[in-house]
Structure 1
Amino acid sequence: MYPKRLFLIACTLLAAATAHAEWHYDKQAIMGTEVHLQFWYQDEQKAQQINRAVMDEFRRLDAALSPYKEDSELSRVNREAGQGPVQISDELARIVDKSLFYSRQTHGSFDITFATLGSLYNFRDGKQVDSDTTESLRDAIGYHHLQLDRSKGTLRYGDSRTKIDLGGIAKGYAVDRAVDILKQYGVTNANVSAGGDARLLGDKRGKPWLVGIRHPRDKSKNAAVIPLENTAISTSGDYERFFIDDDDHRVHHIFDPATGKPADTDRHKDGETADSDSVEETLISVSVIGPAGFDTDPLSTSVFVLGKSKGLALIDQMDGYEAIVIDADRQMFFSRGLAGPQP
């Protein structure tokens, strides 16, 4: 009888502890987007501490990696690296190194030097770069201009006009860092997202997280809802930052380094039929699923620029990664692992 009583007491104590555990939520504007945090934890006071630690990490990364903050490390590097080697932090060196890895893997479709021209666009005011400026700066774009020396901790630009932007990789890195912090506190179930990048820790207490992929032409709808757990997902789309120019062309923030211009999507106003001959290759939304945001973030941009066939082929050759793409004709396609066996 005594052991049974101990068992009942233990069960009662466990139930009481579980009853006090709950979901904690927060949403803050950081890194030029909305950062969402949801996690399960049993101690309210400690949960507030965890929440602050995660959001402080996003703010730290924004302060270091934003090209819009004059005093950020990235801005300093952009000002000085064209004149000679600049000492950089281990963190920035790691991010640039990863960026160069994907530049090589995609033969330049992913390239952080797109900012050489991309930084001259203003999507809020509908300002784009004229053709003369584009032609004059195109040869300053190219990852081969980036001379990273990991042993010395320096970065130099081979062309003094070159600039870099980490918008295609920094948020993926940031959600990974957030999950690292959550793990340090013993959190086992969480969902962290920053714009189009999300990292899921564990499941949603016995069921998968349901992650919506936004409809690229109707922000009130999802094109798909994917059950996921313990993984990362990044989405790149031509609807995130864009304007329609005087010629009815969609001008968006995902650049093709080969042209120095936004990657061609459906060159028309919303709601009209795409008229491009390459409509079946042209993508308007790409979602990549994989172990870490540090990889899914640059991969979603890469697939977007590469187009449907080359982009899906890239994902199909990578173990542990899958992709969902939507072309300019609003058709959805899947990488081999999601599409299932072919007849």
Structure 2
Amino acid sequence: MAAASNSVRRARPLLGTFVEIEAAGSFQPDVLSAVEAAFEAVSTVHQLMSFHDPDSDVGRLNREAHVRPVPVHALTFEVLEAALEMNRRSNGIFDVAVAPGLQAAGILPKTGRDVSLTAEPGATDAIMLLEGNVVGFRDAGVRIDLGGIAKGFAVDRALSILRERGVVNAIVNAGGDLACFGEETRTVCIRHPRDPGRIVCQIQLVDAALATTARRFDPFHSTETARPAIIDPRATVAACANDGATVRAASCMIADALTKVVMIAGTGATELIEQYSASALLIGSDRGLQITPDWQHAVHLAA
């Protein structure tokens, strides 16, 4: 976005990453106010859906929902509805009840509850969505983590606030989960999941959402990448067949969730991608790259 008097760019630590918002409108004070409201929307999702906060909706559900139904915020309920629908459509590949497996792998911290309890694969069958935004768990071993979908939802919420406030061009980027609107074409660089210093390709994005899941990389601790923080819920084992997946969709929440399915299922996720009118780029562990045909015109491979 070209620098101008009515353009604003801000970043804040949220959702376990840095969230950056860039927006432009006809009157800078209004744009500033819209950006502040968008950050507040992201903060709300962070507070409601954090696995690490025992007072969040997720924390309360994991602690109490197997004993009694728990009322949650309407936003949390909305994300759970989308997650269970994705679980159904993906035949159990996307499963927010995979938290025990993530804990066992050391990806999520252990909590005060008996973490030796584990639910069977497909445990979202044990999540009950009741009237009045109330949630219950049928199985005492069920624990959920919304980390595979909530970040995209937060981006969507922020973008919705910016639209409502009269912003004409904007992009919200939450650590690689991003969405934009307006006439401007955005160029997004995709790094190689095994060599983060190398660009695999550039993607042209207009009025759409994009999410990426790949091997983990922490430059403050090591120059090496680690396996993705993805567990295949069908076998409760780490998903290692693929190194990275990028998905474009109308909603960042859907793009975020679909990256996990693509990482696990690879090309087996093609039908599901089509159901959501999405596009995908997959980098296999053999370093092979595959792109859905409808997206090849917008993906430019690096030399």
Q: Same fold (TM over 0.5)?
A: yes
What CA deviation, in whole Å up to 9, does each residue of 1:257-311 have, x standing for no partner?
012232124xxxxxxxxxxxxxxxxx2111111111121111111111112x202
Q: Which residue of 2 aligns with 1:255?
A: 231
1:178 is aligned with what amino acid? Answer: A
- How many pairs are equivalent? 289
What CA deviation, in whole Å up to 9, does each residue of 1:25-79 have, x standing for no partner?
1111101011011111343333322221111111111111101112111101110
1:147 is aligned with what amino acid? Answer: M
Q: 1:41 to 1:117 in 2, by over 3 A?
A: same
Q: Which residue of 2 aligns with 1:181?
A: 161
Equivalent of residue 53 in structure 2, options 69, 79, 100: 69
> Does the CA-based 8 Å contact 1:138-1:260 persist in structure 2?
no
3-state DSSP class of the match of 2:120? Answer: helix
Q: Which runs of 5+ in 2 are unaligned?
A: 298-303
What CA deviation, in whole Å up to 9, does each residue of 1:133-191 have, x standing for no partner?
99972527621111112x24321111112100001110111111111110111112111
TM-score of the superposed pair, with normalisation by structure 2: 0.87
Q: Which residue of 1 aligns with 2:240?
A: 264
TM-score of the superposed pair, with normalisation by structure 1: 0.77
Q: Kindly indicate whether residue 96 of structure 2 is the aligned counterpart of residue 119 of structure 1.
A: no
Which has the higher Rg, Structure 1 or Structure 2?
A: 1
Quote the offset at 1:219 in angstroms: 1.9
Q: Which residue of 2 aligns with 1:172?
A: 152
Equivalent of residue 305 in structure 1, options 264, 269, 275: 264
CA distance in 2, matches of 1:46, 1:233: 27
Equivalent of residue 254 in structure 2, options 287, 290, 295: 295
Q: Indicate the percent of aligned positions where both proteins have the same amino acid.
A: 26
Q: Which residue of 2 aligns with 1:44?
A: 28
Q: Which residue of 2 aligns with 1:27?
A: 11
> Does the CA-based 8 Å contact 1:304-1:311 persist in structure 2?
no
Equivalent of residue 144 in structure 1, options 125, 134, 138: 125
3-state DSSP class of the match of 1:137? Answer: coil
> Does the CA-based 8 Å contact 1:190-1:202 persist in structure 2?
yes
Q: Which residue of 1 aligns with 2:92?
A: 108
CA distance in 1, matches of 2:243, 2:4: 44
Q: Which residue of 2 aligns with 1:245?
A: none
Identify the structure with bigger relative contact order (alpha carbons < 8 Å, sequence gap 6+): 2
Q: Which residue of 1 aligns with 2:206?
A: 229
Q: Which runs of 5+ in 1 are unaligned?
A: 1-18, 243-247, 266-282
Q: 1:71 to 1:301 in 2, by over 3 A?
A: same
> Does the CA-based 8 Å contact 1:213-1:222 persist in structure 2?
yes
Q: 1:156 to 1:264 in 2, by over 3 A?
A: same
Quote the offset at 1:117 in angstroms: 2.4
Quote the offset at 1:250 in angstroms: 4.8
Q: 1:47 to 1:97 in 2, by over 3 A?
A: same
CA distance in 2, matches of 1:240, 1:72: 27
CA distance in 2, matches of 1:56, 1:225: 31
